[in-house]
Amino acid sequence: MILPFGLLLACMAVLPLHWLNWWEKHYAKLALCFAAITIGYYVFLLPPAALETVRHTAQDYAGFITLIGSLYIVAGGIHLRVGGVGAPGRKTLFLALGGAAANLLGTTGASMLLIRPWLRMNRSRVAPYHVVFFIFIVANVGGCLTPLGDPPLLVGFLEGVPFWWVGRHCWPMWLVSMAFLLVVFYFIDRRHGVSAPRPPAGAEHPWHFDGLWNLVFLAVIVATVVIPLPAWLRESIMVVAAASSCFLTARAVHEANEFSFRPIMEVAVLFFGIFATMMPALDRLRDVGGSLTPARVYWSAGMLSAFLDSAPAYLAFFSALGGHAGAGMNALPTKLLSALSVGTVMFGAASYIGNGPNLMVKSIADHHNIQSPSFFAYLFKWAAPVMFPLLLLLWLIFFR
């Protein structure tokens, strides 16, 4: 029953590369078909207790898509006008600030807020690596310091990990990762070509926000994540905040952002298929024993995060390690939990489906007619030569 999950991933990887038009017309049918096969198996062929797995998965998906959708809509109402042309140093600073902001706004919130200004800053000579490094830094690695930063860390917080635990214990890994990626980006961007011609004197304008009041709605959404609330109330508040932002934002701001619901609809459908078909894979994961070393946790949880979504992979290993409710935090050594936290966050950048914002960023870039790598190009041309050395370095320094 893991086969539908593997087939869905294969379709996502291969079909857009060779049959893009067909994929754009029929991706929803494929995702829903694979999801129906797995859900039908759990509902009609397994014992009644399996319905609890379906219910939990539905709740997880509802929370996930409500959060990412509301952040997408609210961020679409904020238009950041960037002044001048992005030289390599300025763009590197932009990515550094975006990575830091991810710890407060979440990788999803920071990505949705900053991806459009980032694309505009690079429009004069945009290249696939601009999309890739934004995903690496802002959509993944940057959010490694707080539970707000990345979905797996939020899962840990909800399971009892103290709010500042990750920041206290994982900041060295975050610092090494950010420095590594920013330096690599700077030299790639510098080598890519001479900076775009500067605009005529007097044509530059300072950075300026339109729709800045949407930050209030953004703060409301972030607060619902931090404050313990019933799931239905938390998601209802997010929906109300997103709807209010959508209706109150001036049309000119949405037009300036080229705002459309198409990217979030595509992500919602594909991740519905992923959440449904990955249930058998997660069930197998929960059978993992407790004899795991930090190195094994780092690589195993990390690799699963790259292709199974980071939050479910974190939860499965957290449960397998005895970190669920009853065992308490004292049952988990610091290095073991650090390996799980860092592995699930960092490996989330290894593929488009490793973390929720990844596919969203690609979809927005495609919607703006800006070139982004295919599934395999991202994996083998960029993630393998850039992220793998970083992941190996983290293992050698911290988890070997």
Q: What is the pLDDT of residue 202?
A: 46
pLDDT at 326: 44
What pLDDT does 164 receive? 86
Rounded Cα distance, 263 and 279, in Å: 25
Q: How far is the C-alpha of 135 from the C-alpha of 117, rounded, in Å?
A: 14
Token pair 């990626």 is at which residue?
181
Would you state the pLDDT for residue 9? 79
Task: Classify the C-alpha dihedral 71-72-75-77 as positive or negative.
Answer: negative
Q: Are the C-beta atoms of residues 131 and 365 closer than 8 Å to each other?
A: yes
Per the CB < 8 A criterion, the answer to whether 352 and 375 are in contact is yes
Give how far the C-alpha of residue 364 lies from the chain's centroid of Cα atoms, to the nearest Å.
14
CA gap 374, 193 in Å, rounded? 23
Average pLDDT of adjacent 10-residue blocks, the chain of 400 residues: 87 78 90 95 91 88 84 83 71 93 83 85 81 95 89 79 89 96 94 57 59 86 82 91 92 82 85 88 66 86 83 76 54 83 93 84 84 86 94 94
pLDDT at residue number 83:
59
The identity of residue 183, as a single letter, is V
**The predicted structure's pLDDT at residue 262:** 83
pLDDT at residue 84 in the model: 53
Which runs of consecutive H residues, i.e. helices, occur in the chain?
Answer: 3-18, 20-40, 50-75, 88-122, 128-137, 151-158, 165-192, 214-226, 231-248, 251-256, 262-277, 279-285, 294-308, 310-320, 334-346, 356-367, 375-376, 388-394
Is 301 within 8 Å of 336 (Cβ atoms)? no
List the domain boundaries for the chain.
3-194+205-399
DSSP, collapsed to helix, strand or coil, labels residue 400 as coil
Give the pLDDT confidence score for residue 199 in this predicted structure. 47
